[in-house]
Amino acid sequence: MSETGKIWALHLALIAALIVAGLVLPAYHQGNLARILVLATYAVGYNLLFGYTGLLSLGHAMFFGAGMYGLGLAMQHGDVSALPAFVIGLICAAVLAAVVALLALRTIGVAFMIVTLMFAQSAFLTVLYFGEWTRGDEGFVLQQATRQIAGVDLSEPTNRYYAALILFSAALLITLKLVRARFGRVLVAIRENEERTRMLGYDCFRHKFLAVVLSGTLSGAAGAAYGLLFGYVGASFTGVQYSIFPLLWVLLGGAGTVIGPFVGALFMFYLIDYASGWTSAYMLIAGAVLVALTLFAPLGLMGELRKRWLRWLP
């Protein structure tokens, strides 16, 4: 099979496996996987910027939050129905990403990390400041009856699972197409050597700008979907830990691999879920596993696979 054939076969097989999983998994794991798929979409968005472009953001929770609040506030205060509200969420995330990109891309390296962190902290405090509408840290509930698209009740577990899967599949395939296209190769070139890429005549700023906007919009789609599918919009999702999570998932799964963010999110979710059943110090176990992985698989799970056996893995 050609390399392209193998690549498409692998990713389509993953989607097919997830379709089957939705039919055969017990209710608890189906619910978990629905959550993981939304979070993996967030990680896919993050990976586009970090894994492929080499820009380490510590503030992606603001994009996730922009999508979530864009949808949530429109539904809660504007009586907007779910689908247009989802689009509003996407637009909010895209606009915020464009503004942040224009300002933050004036910096590089550690300064970029700090600037994105500061922007995210401002976004978090903005949510708290406008507590009259956002209900601050408490957040608010999106009533079950409003969480429908074209008559499909998205609070129903199976519908929710397949809605999450559609979102994740779209994000996965868009990213796969993108990183194998000319645009994606330029992003990788920027990651590897920005100066040389510029010398070759590419407009690095424009590529990085588009990468931030795409990454922010995908993250916002995940945030909006999270609010819509699970019925809760809250400030904790804009906090610093939700900027760190996608970094961890991507590092664990393999930065710069299309499939890695899903593997990382899946691994981390179940690690915490099972470890919390054994001990109250489950974060200690999670920490130890992370240290071990960093030491023995520094490229992440899929990154190591690519290095050792699957050289063709995108």
Partner 1 sequence: MSKLITSRRGLLKGAAAGGLLAASPLVSRYAQAQSSAPIRIGFQQHSTGIGAAYGRWYGRTTEAAAKAINDAGGINGRPLEIVAEDDGTDPKRGAEVVEKFANQHECDVAFGTLFSHVVFGSAPAAGELKIPYFVVSEGHHVASGALNRYTLQPGITDVKSQVQAMAPYVSQNLGKKVTMIFPDFAFGHDHRDFFTQAIEAQGGEVLEHIAIPPTETSFTKYFPKIPRDTEVLYHVMVGPAVLTFVKELGEFFGPSAPAIFGFIDSLEAVDMSSPGLEFLDGTYFWEGMPRYAQADQTEYDKAFRAAVGVDENGASVSDAKDVSTYAHMFGCWETLYIIKRGMEASGYAGPQDRAKLIEAVEAMSAMDEGFEHPQGPKIFNGKTHQTFGKQYISRVENGRMVRVHSTSIEDTFYPDEVDYTAQSF
Under the rule (CB under 8 A), what is the footprint of partner 1? 26-28, 31-32, 35, 125, 128-129, 131-132, 135-144, 155-157, 230-232, 234-237, 273, 276, 280, 282-283
Q: Give whichever of 19 and 283 is closer to partner 1, judged by the CB atom.
A: 283
Q: Based on C-alpha coordinates, what's the Rg of the chain?
A: 19
Q: Give whichever of 112 and 226 is closer to partner 1, judged by the CB atom.
A: 226
Q: Give whichever of 220 and 300 is closer to partner 1, judged by the CB atom.
A: 220
Q: Which two tokens stand for residue 31?
A: 């619910």
Q: Give whichever of 122 and 294 is closer to partner 1, judged by the CB atom.
A: 122
- Answer yes or no: are the C-beta atoms of 21 and 161 closer than 8 Å: no
| Chain length of the chain | 314
Q: How far is CA 131 from CA 93, 98, 138, in A?
A: 20, 25, 9
Helix 241-253, helix 301-308: angle, nearest 10? 20
Q: 180 pairs with which residues across the strands? A: none
Nearest distance from C-beta of residue 26 to partner 1, angstroms: 7
Q: What is the DSSP secondary-structure string of 92-134?
A: HHHHHHHHHHHHHTTS-HHHHHHHHHHHHHHHHHHHHHTHHHH
Phi-psi region of 136 (alpha: psi -120 to 50; beta: other; left: phi over 0): left
Q: Give whichever of 70 and 223 is closer to partner 1, judged by the CB atom.
A: 223
Nearest distance from C-beta of residue 80 to partner 1, angstroms: 19
Mention every residue, 6+ apart, whose C-beta is less than 8 A from residue 113.
56, 57, 58
Nearest distance from C-beta of residue 270 to partner 1, angstroms: 11
Strand extents, DSSP E, the chain: 140-141, 148-149, 152-153, 232-233
Nearest distance from C-beta of residue 53 to partner 1, angstroms: 28
Nearest distance from C-beta of residue 23 to partner 1, angstroms: 16
Q: Give whichever of 112 and 245 is closer to partner 1, judged by the CB atom.
A: 245
In this structure, which amino acid lies at residue 309? Answer: W
Nearest distance from C-beta of residue 236 to partner 1, angstroms: 6
Q: Give whichever of 156 and 203 is closer to partner 1, judged by the CB atom.
A: 156
Q: Give whichever of 102 and 283 is closer to partner 1, judged by the CB atom.
A: 283
Nearest distance from C-beta of residue 18 to partner 1, angstroms: 19
Tell me the C-alpha distance between 203 and 184, whole Å.
13
Nearest distance from C-beta of residue 131 to partner 1, angstroms: 5
Nearest distance from C-beta of residue 167 to partner 1, angstroms: 17
Torsion 168-270-6-52 (CA) sign? positive
3-class SS at 233?
Answer: strand
Q: Give whichever of 214 and 233 is closer to partner 1, judged by the CB atom.
A: 233
Torsion 138-168-267-53 (CA) sign? negative
